[in-house]
Amino acid sequence: MINIAFFIIAALTLGSALAAATNPKLMHAALSFAIAFVGVSTLFFWLGAEFVGLVQIFVYIGAVAVLIVFTILLTRREGEQLRGFNWSGVVVALAVFAGLVWSILKSPSMSILPPEVSPLTVKRIGEVLMSDYVWPLMGVGVLLTVALLGALILAMEDKRE
């Protein structure tokens, strides 16, 4: 039952990711990207990392997907068709996939079952973030502030012209 759920989630995620990578209609591809990321966060839920799954939905569906559809709208031009597709990318991607699968199948230490652990609470994540990882956390805070300002300056209209 749980395994069936996993395979449904995985098929949905990979299918919509493939649609996002190959669909020539830009808006449909962007929306399938959103579905793929919902699938990824469901996978996090399935693995017991609820907090990361929620953060994933929050950041990707609530912010990044909306940004992407807005950027598509802002950079759309009538009559311009961007149907270009580079087929050599398929070959490279398939080769990388074959190599990864081969190396996963070759390593017997990977075919293990998950151990029984107590569920990870949000409180525990908060404690760890505020004690062991407090400097990376501050670094991420600074990074996000800088990214916010940088994005604003980059996207701002030039007033002089």
Partner 1 sequence: MTLSILLMVSSALFCIGLLAALSRRHAIFILIGIEMMLAAANINFIAFWRYNAQPQPTGVIVAIFAIAIAAAEAAVGLALIIAIYRHYRTTNVDQLDRLKG
Partner 2 sequence: MHFLPPGHDLIASFVSALLNISGVLIVFLTLFAAMSVLERKILGRMQNRYGPNRVGPFGLLQPVADGIKMLIKEDIVPARADKVVHFLAPIIIAAVAMLTLGIIPYGRNMTPLSIDGGILFFFAIGSTTELAVFMAGWGSNNKFSMLGAMRAIAQMVSYELPLIITTLPVVMIVGSLSPDQIVAAQSKYWFVFTPWGLAAFLLFFTSGLVESNRTPFDVPEGESEIVAGHMTEYSGFKYATFFLAEYFGMFAISGLAVTLFLGGWHAPLSILRFVPSYIWFFGKLSILLFVFVWARGTLPRTRVDQVMNFAWKFMLPMAFTCVVSAAVWHYAGRGFFAWIWSLVIIAGVYMTLSILLDTKKKFAPRVYRFAE
| Residues in region 102-161 near partner 2 by CB under 8 A | 114, 119, 121-123
Size of the site for partner 2 (CB under 8 A): 29
Contact with partner 2 (CB under 8 A): which of 31, 43, 79, 91?
31
Q: How far apart are CA 156 and CA 137, in angstroms?
A: 28
115 is an interface residue for partner 1 by CB under 8 A? yes
Q: How far apart are CA 129 and CA 60, in angstroms?
A: 21
Q: Which does 8 bind (CB under 5 to 8 A by kind): partner 1, partner 2, none?
A: none
Residue closer to partner 1, measured from CB, 2 or 159: 2
63 is an interface residue for partner 2 by CB under 8 A? yes
Q: How far apart are CA 123 and CA 96, in angstroms?
A: 39
73 is an interface residue for partner 1 by CB under 8 A? no
17 is an interface residue for partner 1 by CB under 8 A? yes
Q: For the stretch 56-65, what's the b/e string if a residue is b when 16 or more beta carbons lie within 10 angstroms of its beta carbon?
A: bbeebbeeeb
Residue type, 34: A
